[in-house]
Structure 1
Amino acid sequence: MNRFTDNALSSWMKADGPDSDIVISSRVRIARNLSSAPFPMLATNQQSQEVLNRVSSVINSDELHEICRFELVPLKTMNELEKRVLVEKHLISPNLADDARNGAAILSENESISIMVNEEDHLRIQVLYPGFQLKEAWELANQIDDVFEGAVDYAYDEKFGYLTSCPTNVGTGIRASVMMHLPALVITKQINRILQAITQVGLAVRGLYGEGSEATGNIFQISNQITLGQTEDEIIDNLHGVARQIIEHEKAARQKLMGESRTKIMDRIRRSFGIMKYAEVMDSKESAQRLSDVRLGIDLGLIHEVPAIAMNELLVMTQPGYLQKHFGKMLSPEERDVHRAKLIREVFGNK
């Protein structure tokens, strides 16, 4: 299990994807419940254990092995820091980490597939792909869902579709999202207009860690809100089309910055690079903003000293859980700021 928490970067994040200079990742998550047991919030300890046993038997099936190999990670075998690292790597939700009876994560070897058991729903099947690969993520998630549907009876209603604990997931049970780095739209002050347009077409805008999280470091998570009354393909196509438009707007904004404010944007990027390379103290908010500047500099070809993959790594490495796991001890907020700066200096080659 340590291999899932010792490394900040999941294997799938090391791969390049389409439009990865703007789209960090594409995600599809499917919520499902077994018809034979109460939903997790109402289930007894014995009932939730029976769900876990039933689901665990499916991961050893030949049908699932044809897709990939999985490892079952019961949450009760993990300490708080290890669970926090899985949250920071987007492999489990804060809800599963904090309060789940017989909760577990079923993880693929490269960590691109994560199946949460006994979270808000019995099953949360999640697929993560690098870059803009929303349709590919949906195809794989759908394959995995088909394997489980062939092995267990889902809670399903002819009128409403798949039944879920939260009414907002009823219907298809699908949540699709793209995590986007949009610094040029923020710098050129176009972002509010873009975000308002997004919400008007039935999509939601959140921060790095989904619902309730702040959009720090110019990273925005765009996802569907509607799961009832549309097919899965319609949901994916709608989000895909809107995301494509946002990508083009961000590209245009970056060209505008390089054309009209080249010296000013170069100064901003280089200042952030220098601060990250030499700072002795760095809080999480400043870290996110400096990382955004340096990532933009790499994507614009203005910085060559660090690889782009290091920015993905630092997204996780600078989070509180991973910092404490990496240094092997609990840290106060002030100590985290010092150790965060130390870890960043090491990545930037300045130990």
Structure 2
Amino acid sequence: MLTFTEMIQHPSQWLDASGPFSDIVYSSRIRLARNLKKIPFSHRANDDELRTVFLQAKEAAHETQLLKDALILDLGELDSLDRRVLAERHLISNQMVELYHNRGLVVTPGETLSVMINEEDHFRLQAITSGFNLNEAYEKVNQLDDELGSRLEYAFHDQWGYLTACPTNVGTGMRASVLIHLPGLFITREIDTLIKKIAKKGFVVRGLYGEGSDVKGNFFQISNQQTLGISELETLERLEKYTRELIEQEKAARDRVFQEAKNEIEDKIWRAYGTLKYAHILNSDNMMNLCSLVRLGISSNWIKETDTSRLNELLVFAQPAHLQRLQGQPLNVDERDVIRAKLVRENLDREN
């Protein structure tokens, strides 16, 4: 059986850059919000009720085919650093790092399927895949939803659909999102206009870690806003359509940059690679921005000394909690910057 320590020592399966358009789309994710009938939502439930939800989730997980080999974690048994590690791996929310009593996580080997227990809703089912692959993520999470739903009594209303703690999730309870890398549109200064257009179409644009996070390294998370009065398939079709448009716009922006300022952008890319390969101090924001340029260089076939999957790994393993877990001790900001630079150098020096 997989252990917590074993899991966090290895990169998540979806970081392998094997999915479609993975040079531009980092990941695709589908999340379903579900609640148990007759038990108050998590923020109103007492400790006994929260514990009941947790125990029912564990029992149901053991009985499902998709979760039979999953790791089940009680967040109250982990320290704050390990909870932060889970947040950096996109497995729990920042809220659960601080609010962990009677909260839990079910996660499969490879971390492509997971269930947050007693976050805002009783259950947050999640499937995450490499690249632009919303349909595969949807199929996985939908199958998991069917398995759990046959064992748990969900709160469902014939008119309103799935009942959720936040009204914006009522209906399908589904959030579909892509995490997309758009350096070309940033360089051509088209990104702000496009973000406004996307927002007008009913989508939300956030940073790498979703709600409340800033945009770093030219990574943008785009997700649906509407869950009521629209089917899951309609939501997927709309997000697929706009994501494909963004991919084409990003490709066109890159082509223009390479045609109009090839020498300048190539110089910036190689300087970024050289800094990552030889720097002895790197803060998180600097690393993200440099990795963005190197990622662009790999996609353009200028840089062949490393690959996209290694940069994907760095986006997780060079985060503060992972660095401290790697060292086995707390680190201040300056110490983390030194360890981060060392990790990046080792990553880029590693043989394929």
Normalising by structure 1, report the TM-score: 0.96
* Cα distance between partner residues in 2 of 1:67 and 1:40: 23
3-state SS of the aligned residue for 2:220?
Answer: strand
8 Å CA contact retained: 1:277, 1:345: yes
**Structure 2 residue aligned with 1:14:** 16
State the shift of 1:277 in Å.
1.1
Which residue is equivalent to 2:78? 78
The aligned residue for residue 5 of structure 2 is 2
- Residue 67 of structure 2 contacts residue 108 of structure 2 at CA under 8 Å; is this kept in 1? no
Once the two structures are TM-superposed, the CA of residue 11 in structure 1 deviates from its matched residue by 2.1
Aligned equivalents of 1:120 and 1:67: distance in 2? 22
Partner of 1:290: 290
Q: Could you give the per-residue CA deviations for residues 152-211 of structure 1, whole angstroms, max 9, x where no partner exists?
A: 111111221111111111111100000001111101111111111100100000000001
Change (3 A) 1:260 1:329: same
Displacement after TM superposition at 1:15 (Å)? 5.1
Distance 1:95 1:67 in 2: 24
Which amino acid is the alignment partner of residue 128 of structure 1?
A: I
* Mapped contact 2:32–2:124 kept (Cα < 8 A): yes
2:32 to 27, 30, 33: 30
Structure 1 residues 19-98: aligned runs within 5 Å: 19-61=21-63, 64-65=64-65, 69-98=69-98
Cα distance per residue 1:242-285 (max 9 Å; x no partner): 00100010111112222222111100100101111111211111
- Whether 1:270 aligns to 2:275 is no
User: Equivalents in 1 of 2:250, 2:26: separation in Å?
Assistant: 14
User: Secondary structure, in 3 states, of the residue corresponding to 1:153?
Assistant: coil
CA shift for structure 1 position 66 = 5.3
Question: What SS does structure 2 have at the residue aligned with 1:16?
Answer: coil
Amino acid at match of 2:179: M
- Distance change >3 Å, CA 246–CA 68, structure 1 → 2: farther
User: Structure 1: 5+ residue runs without aligned partners?
Assistant: none
Instruction: Note if 1:245 corresponds to 2:245.
Output: yes
- Give yes or no for contact 2:34–2:121 (8 Å, CA) kept in 1: yes
Deviation string, structure 1 residues 302-323 (Cα, Å, up to 9, x no partner): 1111122110010012211111
Contact 2:17 2:308 in 1 (8 A): no
> How far did 1:335 drift?
1.4
Cα drift, residue 31 of structure 1: 0.3
Is the contact between residue 12 and residue 110 of structure 1 (CA under 8 Å) also seen in structure 2?
yes
CA distance in 2 between partners of 1:19 and 1:225 (Å): 24
Which amino acid counterpart does residue 2 of structure 1 have in structure 2? T
Q: 1:100 to 1:66 in 2, by over 3 A?
A: closer
RMSD over aligned Cα atoms: 1.3
Q: How big is the shift at 1:237?
A: 0.8
SS of aligned partner of 2:150: helix
* CA deviation string 1:209-262 (max 9, x = no partner): 001101100000000011111111111111111001000101111122222221
Tell me, what secondary structure is at the counterpart of 1:91?
coil
CA distance in 2, matches of 1:129, 1:146: 19
Structure 2 CA distance for aligned equivalents of residues 310 and 164 of structure 1: 38
SS in 1 for 2:81: helix
Kept in 2: contact 1:5–1:82 (CA 8 A): no
User: What amino acid sits opposite 2:56 in the alignment?
Assistant: R
Distance 1:220 1:130 in 2: 15
Distance 1:183 1:262 in 2: 15
Find the aligned partners of 1:272 and 1:132 in 2 and give their Cα distance.
Answer: 26
Structure 2 counterpart SS, 1:205: strand
Runs of 4+ in 1 over 6 A off after TM superposition: none
> Greater shift after overlay, 9-18 or 227-236?
9-18
Indicate the residue corresponding to 1:221 in structure 2: 221
Deviation (angstroms), 1:145: 0.7
The structural deviation recorded for 1:89 is 0.8
Partners of 2:166 and 2:136 in 1: CA distance: 26
**Structure 2 CA distance, aligned partners of 1:131 and 1:35?**
36
Instruction: Give structure 2 stretches of 5+ with no counterpart.
Output: none
Amino-acid identity (%): 43
Residue aligning to 1:206? 206
- How many residue pairs are counted as aligned between the two chains? 347
Q: 1:182 to 1:138 in 2, by over 3 A?
A: same
**Aligned AA for 2:58?**
S
CA distance in structure 2 between the aligned counterparts of 1:72 and 1:36, rounded to whole angstroms: 24
Deviation at 1:69, TM superposition (A): 2.8
Q: More displaced, 227-236 or 199-208? A: 227-236
